[in-house]
Structure 1
Amino acid sequence: MKKEKKIQPEAIITSHINADFDAISSMLAAQKLYPEAVVIFPGSQEKNLRDFFVSTMSYLFNMENPKNIDFSLIRKLIVVDTRRPLRIPAVAKLLEKEELEIHIYDHHPDKEGDIKADISVVQPTGATVTILTQLIREKSIAISPEEATVMALGIYEDTGSFTYTSTTEADLQATAFLLSCGANLNTISDFISKEIRTDQVAWLNELINEKVSHTINGVEIHISTISSPEYIPDLAAIVQMVMKIDNLDVFFAIVLMEAKVNVIARSRIIEVNVGEILSALGGGGHASAASAGIPGKTLAQVEQELIELLKSHVMPTRIAQELMSTPAFTIKESVTCRDAGMMMTRCNVNALLVSSDDPHEITGYITRHVIEKTGYHQLGHLPVSEYMSTEITTISQNAGLMEIESRIMGEKQRLLPVKADSRVIGVITRTDLLNYLVHRNKNGTGSHHGQNITPQHAKQRNIGHLITERLTPAMADLLREIGRAGDELGVNLFVVGGFVRDLLLCRKSDDIDVVVEGDGIDFARRFILKKGGRCNTHREFCTAVMVLPNGFKIDVASARMEYYTAPAALPTVEMSSIQRDLFRRDFTINTLAVGLNKKNFGTLIDFFGAQRDLKDKTIRTLHNLSFVEDPTRVFRAIKFANRFDFTIGKLTLSLIRNAVKFDFFRKLSGRRLFSELKQILEEENPIPAIESLRNYHLEKVIHPDLIMDDSIIETLGAAQKAVSWHDLLYLNTPCMNWSIYFMVILKKCPYQVVKEICSHLRLSPSQTKLILRDRLKAEERLYILERRFPPTNSGLYALLNIFKPEHLLYIMACTRIDRVRKAVSFYYTRLKDIKPTIQGRDLIALNLKPGRTFQAILQSVLDAKLDGKLKNKKEEIAFVQKHHMPVNPDSMDKSVD
Structure 2
Amino acid sequence: MNFKEKLDQNSIFKIVGEAGQRLGLPTYVVGGYVRDLLLERENKDIDFTCVGSGIALAKEVSKALGKDVPVSIFKNFGTAMINWGDYELEFVGARKESYRSESRKPIVEDGTLMEDLERRDFTINAMAISLNQEDFGELLDPFNGQKDLKRKNIQTPLEPNVTFSDDPLRMMRAVRFAAQLNFDIEADTFFAIQDNAARLKIVSAERIITELNKIIETPTPSYGFKLLFAGKLIHEFFPEMVELQGVDTVDDKSHKDNFYHTLQVLDNVAKVSDDLWLRWAAILHDIAKPATKRFNPKVGWTFHGHEDKGARMVPGIFKRLKLPMDERMKFVQKLVRLHLRPIALVKDEVTDSALRRLLFDAGDAIDELMMLCRADITSKNDKKVKRYLENFDKVERKLQEVEEKDQVRNFQPPISGEEIMSTFDLKPSKIVGDIKEEIKEAILEGKIKNNPEEARGLMHDIAKRMGISDK
Instruction: Work out whether the TM-score is over 0.5.
Output: yes
Contact 1:641 1:647 survives alignment (8 Å): yes
Structure 2 CA distance for aligned equivalents of residues 504 and 479 of structure 1: 16
One-letter amino acid of the structure 2 residue matched with residue 524 of structure 1: A
Q: Residue 755 of structure 1: CA displacement?
A: 5.5
Match of 1:637 in 2: 174
Contact 1:537 1:543 survives alignment (8 Å): yes
Structure 1 CA distance for aligned equivalents of residues 166 and 200 of structure 2: 10
Structure 1 CA distance for aligned equivalents of residues 147 and 363 of structure 2: 53
Structure 1 CA distance for aligned equivalents of residues 223 and 21 of structure 2: 45
CA 1:806/1:673 → structure 2, altered by over 3 Å: closer, same or farther? farther
Structure 1 CA distance for aligned equivalents of residues 316 and 324 of structure 2: 13
Contact 1:716 1:813 survives alignment (8 Å): no
| Residue 724, structure 1, aligned to residue 271, structure 2 | yes
Structure 2 CA distance for aligned equivalents of residues 553 and 664 of structure 1: 32
Structure 2 CA distance for aligned equivalents of residues 526 and 795 of structure 1: 64
Higher relative contact order (CA 8 A, sep 6+): 2
Structure 2 CA distance for aligned equivalents of residues 563 and 683 of structure 1: 33
| Residue 493, structure 1, aligned to residue 27, structure 2 | yes
> What is the total number of aligned residue pairs between the two structures?
386
Structure 2 CA distance for aligned equivalents of residues 485 and 619 of structure 1: 34
Structure 2 CA distance for aligned equivalents of residues 833 and 497 of structure 1: 54
Contact 1:493 1:514 survives alignment (8 Å): yes
Equivalence map 1:627-666=2 (5 Å): 627-660=164-197, 663-666=198-201
| Residue 566, structure 1, aligned to residue 101, structure 2 | yes
CA deviation vs aligned residue, 1:616-640 (integer Å, no higher than 9, x gap)? 3322212221111112222222222
Structure 2 CA distance for aligned equivalents of residues 507 and 466 of structure 1: 13
Match of 2:466 in 1: none
CA deviation vs aligned residue, 1:798-822 (integer Å, no higher than 9, x gap)? 1321538766644443356536754
CA 1:723/1:647 → structure 2, altered by over 3 Å: closer, same or farther? closer
CA 1:764/1:481 → structure 2, altered by over 3 Å: closer, same or farther? same
One-letter amino acid of the structure 1 residue matched with residue 269 of structure 2: A
Q: Residue 779 of structure 1: CA displacement?
A: 3.0
Match of 2:298 in 1: none
Contact 2:221 2:266 survives alignment (8 Å): no
Structure 2 CA distance for aligned equivalents of residues 683 and 829 of structure 1: 32
Partner residue of 1:622 out of 137, 157, 169: 157
Partner residue of 1:739 out of 280, 283, 287: 280
Q: Which secondary structure does the structure 2 equivalent of 1:534 belong to?
A: coil
Equivalence map 1:740-889=2 (5 Å): 740=281, 742-743=283-284, 746=287, 748=289, 757-766=317-326, 770-771=328-329, 774-788=331-345, 791-792=351-352, 794-801=356-363, 803=365, 809-814=371-376, 817-818=388-389, 822=393, 851=419, 883=454
Structure 1: unaligned runs, 5 residues or longer: 1-460, 728-733, 837-842, 844-849, 868-875, 887-897
Q: Residue 588 of structure 1: CA displacement?
A: 1.0
Equivalence map 1:9-408=2 (5 Å): none
Larger radius of gyration between Structure 1 and Structure 2 = 1
Q: Which secondary structure does the structure 2 equivalent of 1:462 belong to?
A: coil
Q: Residue 764 of structure 1: CA displacement?
A: 3.3
Match of 1:585 in 2: 120
Q: Residue 505 of structure 1: CA displacement?
A: 1.5
Q: Which has the higher helix share?
A: 2
CA deviation vs aligned residue, 1:366-424 (integer Å, no higher than 9, x gap)? xxxxxxxxxxxxxxxxxxxxxxxxxxxxxxxxxxxxxxxxxxxxxxxxxxxxxxxxxxx
| Residue 462, structure 1, aligned to residue 2, structure 2 | yes
Alignment RMSD (CA, Å): 4.3
Structure 2 CA distance for aligned equivalents of residues 830 and 525 of structure 1: 63
Once the two structures are overlaid, the 10-residue window that deviates more, 650-659 or 707-716, is 707-716
Q: Residue 501 of structure 1: CA displacement?
A: 0.9
Q: Residue 835 of structure 1: CA displacement?
A: 11
Q: Residue 570 of structure 1: CA displacement?
A: 1.9
Match of 2:261 in 1: 714
Match of 2:210 in 1: 675
Q: Residue 740 of structure 1: CA displacement?
A: 4.1
Match of 1:62 in 2: none
Structure 2 CA distance for aligned equivalents of residues 784 and 610 of structure 1: 51
Structure 2 CA distance for aligned equivalents of residues 740 and 493 of structure 1: 46
Q: Residue 514 of structure 1: CA displacement?
A: 1.4
CA deviation vs aligned residue, 1:28-65 (integer Å, no higher than 9, x gap)? xxxxxxxxxxxxxxxxxxxxxxxxxxxxxxxxxxxxxx
Q: Residue 484 of structure 1: CA displacement?
A: 2.6
CA deviation vs aligned residue, 1:334-375 (integer Å, no higher than 9, x gap)? xxxxxxxxxxxxxxxxxxxxxxxxxxxxxxxxxxxxxxxxxx
Contact 2:14 2:131 survives alignment (8 Å): yes
One-letter amino acid of the structure 2 residue matched with residue 464 of structure 1: K
Partner residue of 1:483 out of 11, 14, 17: 17
Structure 2 CA distance for aligned equivalents of residues 745 and 560 of structure 1: 46
Contact 2:51 2:113 survives alignment (8 Å): yes
Contact 1:564 1:571 survives alignment (8 Å): yes
CA 1:828/1:725 → structure 2, altered by over 3 Å: closer, same or farther? farther
Structure 1 CA distance for aligned equivalents of residues 398 and 374 of structure 2: 11
Q: Which secondary structure does the structure 1 equivalent of 2:76 belong to?
A: helix
Partner residue of 1:552 out of 64, 80, 87: 87
Q: Residue 677 of structure 1: CA displacement?
A: 1.6
Match of 1:508 in 2: 42
One-letter amino acid of the structure 1 residue matched with residue 361 of structure 2: L
Q: Which secondary structure does the structure 2 equivalent of 1:565 belong to?
A: coil
CA deviation vs aligned residue, 1:648-704 (integer Å, no higher than 9, x gap)? 2232122122213xx222322222222222221122222112112222232211144
Contact 2:269 2:278 survives alignment (8 Å): no
CA 1:646/1:780 → structure 2, altered by over 3 Å: closer, same or farther? closer
Q: Which secondary structure does the structure 1 equivalent of 2:340 belong to?
A: helix
Identity of aligned residues (%): 25
One-letter amino acid of the structure 2 residue matched with residue 482 of structure 1: V
CA deviation vs aligned residue, 1:471-516 (integer Å, no higher than 9, x gap)? xx4xx22222222332333322211111111111122222211112
Q: Which has the higher strand share?
A: 1
Q: Residue 753 of structure 1: CA displacement?
A: 6.9
One-letter amino acid of the structure 2 residue matched with residue 610 of structure 1: G
Q: Which secondary structure does the structure 2 equivalent of 1:765 belong to?
A: coil
Structure 1 CA distance for aligned equivalents of residues 401 and 357 of structure 2: 14
Structure 1 CA distance for aligned equivalents of residues 272 and 187 of structure 2: 37
One-letter amino acid of the structure 1 residue matched with residue 324 of structure 2: S
CA deviation vs aligned residue, 1:726-753 (integer Å, no higher than 9, x gap)? 35xxxxxx65465345435846466687
Q: Residue 785 of structure 1: CA displacement?
A: 2.8
Match of 1:46 in 2: none
Q: Which secondary structure does the structure 2 equivalent of 1:713 belong to?
A: helix
Partner residue of 2:79 out of 522, 530, 543: 543
Contact 1:712 1:744 survives alignment (8 Å): no
Contact 2:334 2:362 survives alignment (8 Å): no
Structure 2 CA distance for aligned equivalents of residues 714 and 558 of structure 1: 47
Q: Which secondary structure does the structure 2 equivalent of 1:803 belong to?
A: helix
One-letter amino acid of the structure 2 residue matched with residue 784 of structure 1: R
Contact 1:589 1:614 survives alignment (8 Å): yes
One-letter amino acid of the structure 2 residue matched with residue 636 of structure 1: R
Q: Which secondary structure does the structure 2 equivalent of 1:700 belong to?
A: helix
Structure 2 CA distance for aligned equivalents of residues 516 and 534 of structure 1: 20
Q: Residue 518 of structure 1: CA displacement?
A: 1.7
Contact 1:740 1:806 survives alignment (8 Å): no
Partner residue of 1:684 out of 200, 203, 219: 219
Q: Residue 533 of structure 1: CA displacement?
A: 3.5
